[in-house]
Structure 1
Amino acid sequence: MAALWKAYQRLMARHPWKVQIVTAGTLVGAGDVISQQLVEKRGLTGHNGQRTLKMMTVGFCFVGPVIGSWYQVLDRLVPAKTKVAALQKMLLDQGGFAPCFLGCFLAVVGTLNGLSVEDNWSKIKRIWPAVQVVNFYFVPLNYRLAVVQCVAILFNSYLSWKTNQL
């Protein structure tokens, strides 16, 4: 496991943008697998591989680039690495970015599935502000997307399940 982590760090150092996007897509896909296997209990024979690939594509083409870019903007807006700066980043993230991003995410997935976006608006988890303070204070910029996506795996599982209900 340590060797995998070192290899990941080497790749992150050489190709941070690409690795962040691949990480986001992979983790969004993992959220869908968890949704199908643990929440929906589909089993391997009932697993919808196309749905997982669709969610991964949303992760690669939307989640990774958008959130990765946002974190770069936040670091330019609030360049300090203090507790106050982490709190400021969390407030900007939660007050401005998160509602817009979630709305867009649900719209993208909803459009792909032909589902209504409005049904999902009330389902935003309250864990994100605390996660983001920790993320902005302790985690280096290149790793923030991976950290938030790891925490988001459960939320991605929920979103995948909810937005793929017909």
Structure 2
Amino acid sequence: MAGWWRALQRVPLRYPWPTNVLLYTGLFSAGDALQQRLQGGPADWRQTRRVATLAVTFHGNFNYAWLRLLERAMPGRAPRVVLTKVLCDQLLGGPIALSAFYVGMSILQEQDDIFLDLKQKFWNTYKTGLMYWPFVQTGDGTLKSAFILLRAKAAGAVEKSPEK
């Protein structure tokens, strides 16, 4: 079990663990406060504290370890590698993080059925995320590179096709 942790530690990342966790906590908290503001109601700072608690105890840590694991398993920034990592993240990491959010918030809100929000909101949130996150994750030019690679392969296939 300690072997995966040692392997994870060898993967260089731009930000160290505490910075990453604090960044997630700040983003989650700011997002919650902004959502409340946009809904026009009074600020519910207890709710924002719950979101921050979940971010600092689970999401920041999970995402730090998960992304390091993905990078260790599939190093590099080649378009095919990045698209594979995005696919893995959307099929495995996303559902785990989303489920932990809904269940964690239900626990912190002391709801009777801690799985009710998960059952009611998971699929809609997951589908919405699928329309947003893959484009954000590939938005550093990797998506453009992938399309260039696909276009080049298609052009190569046309050049190799026999003349009639």
- TM-score bucket of the superposed structures, by smaller chain: 0.5 to 0.7
Larger helix share, 1 or 2:
1
Letter in 2 for 1:25: T
Q: Larger RCO: Structure 1 or Structure 2 (Cα < 8 Å, ≥ 6 residues apart)?
A: 1
The correspondence for 2:139, drawn from 130, 134, 147, is 134
Give deviations 1:137-164, integer Å, cap 9, x for gaps.
59xxxxxxxxxxxxxxxxxxxxxxxxxx
CA distance, structure 2, for counterparts of residue 74 and residue 91 of structure 1: 11
In the TM superposition, residue 55 of structure 1 has moved relative to its aligned partner by 0.8
Report the TM-score when normalising by structure 1.
0.66
RMSD: 2.2
Give deviations 1:92-144, integer Å, cap 9, x for gaps.
11112211221121111122221622111122212112222236959xxxxxx
In the TM superposition, residue 21 of structure 1 has moved relative to its aligned partner by 0.5
Moved runs in structure 1, 4+ residues, more than 6 A? none
CA distance, structure 2, for counterparts of residue 100 and residue 89 of structure 1: 15
**Counterpart of 2:22?**
22
CA distance, structure 2, for counterparts of residue 98 and residue 33 of structure 1: 22
Q: 1:89 to 1:136 in 2, by over 3 A?
A: farther
Give deviations 1:68-102, integer Å, cap 9, x for gaps.
11110010011022111110100111112211221
Number of matched pairs: 122
The correspondence for 1:47, drawn from 43, 46, 49, is 43
> Is 1:57 equivalent to 2:53 in the alignment?
yes
Letter in 2 for 1:36: Q
**Counterpart of 1:162?**
none
Report the TM-score when normalising by structure 2.
0.67
- Contact persistence 1:85–1:137 (CA under 8 A): no
Q: 1:67 to 1:108 in 2, by over 3 A?
A: same
The correspondence for 2:92, drawn from 92, 96, 114, is 96
SS of 2:138's equivalent? helix
Q: 1:52 to 1:60 in 2, by over 3 A?
A: same
Letter in 2 for 1:73: L
**Counterpart of 1:141?**
none
In the TM superposition, residue 60 of structure 1 has moved relative to its aligned partner by 1.1
Task: Say which one has the larger Rg.
Answer: 2
Unmatched 5+ stretches in structure 2: 1-12, 144-164
**Counterpart of 2:162?**
none
Unmatched 5+ stretches in structure 1: 1-11, 139-166
